[in-house]
Amino acid sequence: MKIIQYLINGISIGSVYAVIALGYTMVYGIAKMLNFAHGDIIMVGAYISFCVTNYLGLPVVVSILAAMAVCTVLGMLIEALAYKPLRGTPSLAVLITAIGVSYFLQNAAQLIWSSSPKNYTSVVTFQPLRLVGGQLVITGEVIVTIIASIVIMVGLTWFTGKTRTGKAMRAVSEDREAAELMGISVNKTISTTFAIGSALAAIAGVLLCSTVPTLQPTTGSMPGIRAFTAAVLGGIGSIPGAMLGGILLGIIETFSKAYLSPQFSDAIVFGVLIVILLVKPAGLLGKQVQEKV
Amino acid sequence: MKKLNRNQVKNASTYILVTAAFLILQVLSTQGKLNSTTKGFLVPACAYIVLAVSLNLLVGICGELSLGHAGFMGIGAFTGIVVTSLLAEAVPNGVLRLVMGMVAGGVLAGVVGFLIGIPVLRLRGDYLAIVTLAFGEIMKNVFGNLYLGVDENGLHATIKSEGLTLAEGGKMIISGPRGATGITKLSTFAVGFVLILLTLFVVQNLINSKEGRAIKAVRDNRIAAESVGINVTAFRMKAFVVSAFLAGMAGALYAMNYGSITASKFNFNTSINILVFVVLGGMGNILGSIISATVLYILPEAMRGLQDYRMILYAVVLILVMLFTWSPKMKDIISVVTDKVRGVFRKNEKEAASHE
C-alpha cells in the first residue's frame, strides 16, 4: 500500500514539475532560448495569489485568475523589454539576460514582500480521501494538482494541434524563416508563447505553494531548475516530453526519498538525468536531428 | 630584435597589467592605505579571476556552455581543506602547505573532470550545459552530506546522516551540512597573484598553440575541423580538464581565505556568476574576463551602502549591459551617435584648419 501512496505523491509533485516544464519547453522550442527567469514567474504568481486572498479577502478563484493575469502581462513585458531586442544574437547573450531578469524578479520580490517566508494557505479546502480503510490517504491538494495538470496538458495538446495560433507556434518552432515566409508573425507568436508559459507558471505557483506552503522570494528557483531538468529529460522542445519528464522526475524524487536516501534525492535525480542523456542524447521524446554538412 | 606579433603584444600587456595592479595593491596594503574590508576582497577576487579565465577557456575558446563550474571549485576547496589540515604538523610552512592543498585540489578536480568528461563530452550545446548543471548540483549535494574527520586511527569519512564518531582527541574536518569549520586561513594575496599568473601562462599558451587553434577550429565548425583530421573529442577533453584543474586550484585558494565554508557556497548561483563574468568580459577575451571578474565581484560589495537595493541594481546593470552590447538596434544607435560625434570633431578640425 505504501508504494501506491508514494507513487500517487510522486505523480502529484511531478504534475507540478510538468506544468512548469511546459513553460520551459514551449519557450525553448519556439524562441530557442533557456528562460532561466521562468522559475521566478512561479514565485510572482504565488505571491499575487497570496496577496489577493489574504489582503483583499477575495475568493480563491479570483486570486488564481489575478495571478494568471499578472504573470501573463509580466511574461510578455519581460519578453518585449529584455529578450526581443536580443533576437538573433548568440543564445548565451539571451541566457545571461534571462539570469539578470531572474535576479531582478527575486530582489524585487524581496523589496516588496520582504525575505521572511509567508505561510501560504492552501487553495484546496476539502478533506483528504481515505481509501482501503485509511491505509491510503490522498490529500485534496494531490487530487486538484493531478486534475489541473491533466486539464492543462489536454488543453495545450488541443491548442497546439488544432488552433491557428497553436499551428503557428509549431511552425515557428519547426523553421522560423519558412514560417515567416508563410505569413506568420514570429514576434506575435513568441509573445503568445511567453504569455501562455507565464500563465501556466502562475497556476504552477499556486499548486506548488498549496503543497509546500512556505512562500519566499527564492521559492521558484529550485522547482524551476527541477522542471528545467524535467523538460530536458523528456526532450526539450517537445510538449508530451515535458509532461513525461515532469511526472517521471516527481516519481523518481519521491521514491528515492522514501527508499534510498532522503538527503541524496538531488544527486539521484540529477544522476538519472545524466544517465538518460547519455543513452538518449536528445531526451526521452526529443527528436534526434541529423546534422547536415 | 625580433618583432612581436599582435598576440604576443596582447599577452604581454595582460601580464604587465596584472603585475602592475598587484604591485600597486601590495604597496598600498603594506603602507596601511587599504582598510580591512578592501583587504578582504583581494583573495576572493583572485580566485574569481582564475575561475573566470578557466571558464572562458571552456565557454569562449572551446564554445562549450558549462553551468557547473562551481562543482569543480567545490572539489578543489574541500580537497584543499582536507589536505592542509592533515599536513598541519608535517609541513609547518603555511604557504607551502597552501600550495600543496591547491595542487591537490586542482589535481582531484582535473581527475574528476576527466572521468566525468569521458561520458559527458559526447553531448553538445544546451544538453552539455544541463549535464554540467546536474554535475554541479550532485557535487553540492555530496559535499553537503559528507562527514570527514581524523583521529589516531586515521582518516574517517561517511555520507550517512548520523555523522561520525571519532576517537578521543579526533578532529572533524568536514561535518555535513555545517560544512568545514576551523579552517586555518592560509590564503594570501601573493599566492593568489601567482595563481593568476600561472593561469594566464597555461591558458594563453594553450590558446596560441597548435592545440588552441585546433580547439578554436572545433568551436567554429566542428564538422569541418573533424574532416581535416582534428581529433575533436581529445581537444575538447584537454580544454575541459585544464579548466577543471584551474577551477579546483582557485576553489582551494578561495576556501582557505575563510574560517568556515559550507557546500551551499558552490551552488548553481556561483556557477552562473562566473559565467556572467565571462560573458560580460567578452567570450574568448582573457583580459576582459580578468577585468569583468574584478569589477563585478567588487560592484555588489561596494554597493553595500545601498542595502536592499544593491542586488536589484546589479540585476538592472546586468540586463542593460547585455542589451547595450548585444542588441543589433542598440549597436546601430551607438554607431550613429559615435559617427555624429566624430563628424562634429572633424568639422571643428576643418574649421580650425580654415581659420589658420
Q: Is residue B174 part of a domain?
A: no
Concatenating the DSSP letter of every residue in B295-320 gives HHHHHHHHGGGGGGGHHHHHHHHHHH
Q: Which residues of B touch A35 (CB under 8 A)?
A: none
A278 and B65 in contact by Cβ < 8 A? no
Instruction: Tell me which H or E stretch contains A136.
Output: strand A136-138
Q: Which residues of A touch B270 (CB under 8 A)?
A: none
Q: Is residue B113 part of a domain?
A: yes
**How would residue A252 be classed by pLDDT, with cut points 50, 70 and 90?**
very high
Q: How far apart are CA B91 and CA B108, in angstroms?
A: 20
Residue to mutate among A32, A34, A95, with most B CBs inside 10 A, is A95
A267 and B138 in contact by Cβ < 8 A? yes
Q: Which whole number is the average pLDDT over A76-90?
A: 88
Instruction: Tell me which H or E stretch contains B239.
Output: helix B232-255
**How would residue B353 be classed by pLDDT, with cut points 50, 70 and 90?**
low
Asked which of B157-171, B321-335, B342-356 is least confident by mean pLDDT, the reply is: B342-356
Q: Is residue A286 part of a domain?
A: no
Q: Which whole number is the average pLDDT over A133-140?
A: 79
Q: Which residues of B touch A85 (CB under 8 A)?
A: 323, 327-330
Residue B160 to chain A, least CA–CA distance (Å) = 9
The answer on pLDDT for A270 being more than 80 is yes
Per-residue pLDDT, B212: 86
Q: Which residue of B has its CA nearest to A272?
A: B134
Q: Does A277 touch chain B (CB under 8 A)?
A: yes
Q: How big is chain A, counted in residues?
A: 293
**How would residue B77 be classed by pLDDT, with cut points 50, 70 and 90?**
very high
Contact in structure between A236 and A25 (CB atoms under 8 Å): yes
Mean pLDDT of chain B: 85
Q: How far apart are CA A42 and CA B324, in angstroms?
A: 28
A281 and B142 in contact by Cβ < 8 A? no
The residues with which A33 forms a beta bridge, in sequence order, are none
Which residues are CB-contacts of A212 (< 8 A; sequence separation ≥ 6)?
none
Residue B273 to chain A, least CA–CA distance (Å) = 9
Concatenating the DSSP letter of every residue in A249-262 gives HHHHHHHIIIII-G
Query: Domain total for chain A?
Result: 1
Q: Which residues of B touch A92 (CB under 8 A)?
A: 59, 65, 279, 283
Domain of A75? Answer: 2-279
From its phi and psi, is residue A59 left (phi > 0), alpha (psi between -120 and 50) or beta? beta
Per-residue pLDDT, A292: 59
Q: Is residue A156 part of a domain?
A: yes
Q: What is the CATH number of the domain that holds A9?
A: 1.10.3470
Give the residue among B302, B201, B216, B182 at the shortest CA–CA distance from B249.
B201
Scanning B69-98 for CB atoms below 8 A from A yields none
Residue A60 to chain B, least CA–CA distance (Å) = 31
Q: Is residue A230 part of a domain?
A: yes
Q: How far apart are CA B200 and CA B287, in angstroms?
A: 9
Contact in structure between B49 and B290 (CB atoms under 8 Å): yes
Q: Is residue B201 part of a domain?
A: yes
pLDDT digit string, tens, across residues A179-217: 999 999 999 999 999 999 999 999 999 999 888 888 888
Per-residue pLDDT, B323: 86
Q: Which whole number is the average pLDDT over A35-40?
A: 90
Q: Is residue A81 part of a domain?
A: yes
Q: Which residues of A touch B314 (CB under 8 A)?
A: 103
Q: pTM to 2 decimals?
A: 0.86
Please state whether beta strands B154-158 and B147-151 pair in parallel, antiparallel, or not at all (unpaired): antiparallel
The grid cell for B145 is 552530506
Q: Is residue A284 part of a domain?
A: no
Q: Is residue A210 part of a domain?
A: yes
Per-residue pLDDT, B352: 65
Q: How big is chain B, counted in residues?
A: 356
Contact in structure between A105 and A40 (CB atoms under 8 Å): yes
Please name the residue that has the C-alpha cell 567554429.
B220
Domain of B261? Answer: 6-144+179-268
Q: Is residue B347 part of a domain?
A: no
Please state whether beta strands B147-151 and B171-175 pair in parallel, antiparallel, or not at all (unpaired): antiparallel
Q: Does B237 touch chain A (CB under 8 A)?
A: no
C-alpha torsion B125→B130→B136→B138, nearest 10: -140
Q: Is residue B169 part of a domain?
A: no
**How would residue B109 be classed by pLDDT, with cut points 50, 70 and 90?**
very high
The answer on pLDDT for A232 being more than 60 is yes
Q: Is residue B168 part of a domain?
A: no
The answer on pLDDT for A170 being more than 60 is yes
Q: Which residue of A has its CA nearest to B310?
A: A107
Query: Domain total for chain B?
Result: 1
Q: Is residue B333 part of a domain?
A: no
Q: Is residue B46 part of a domain?
A: yes
Q: Is residue A247 part of a domain?
A: yes
Apex A209 CA angle, A207 and A210, nearest 5: 65
Q: Which residue of A has its CA nearest to B139?
A: A267
B141 and A100 in contact by Cβ < 8 A? no
Query: How many interface pairs between A and B have CB atoms less than 8 angstroms apart?
Result: 127
- Largest Cα separation within chain B, whole Å, is 92
Q: Is residue A285 part of a domain?
A: no
Q: Does B135 touch chain A (CB under 8 A)?
A: yes
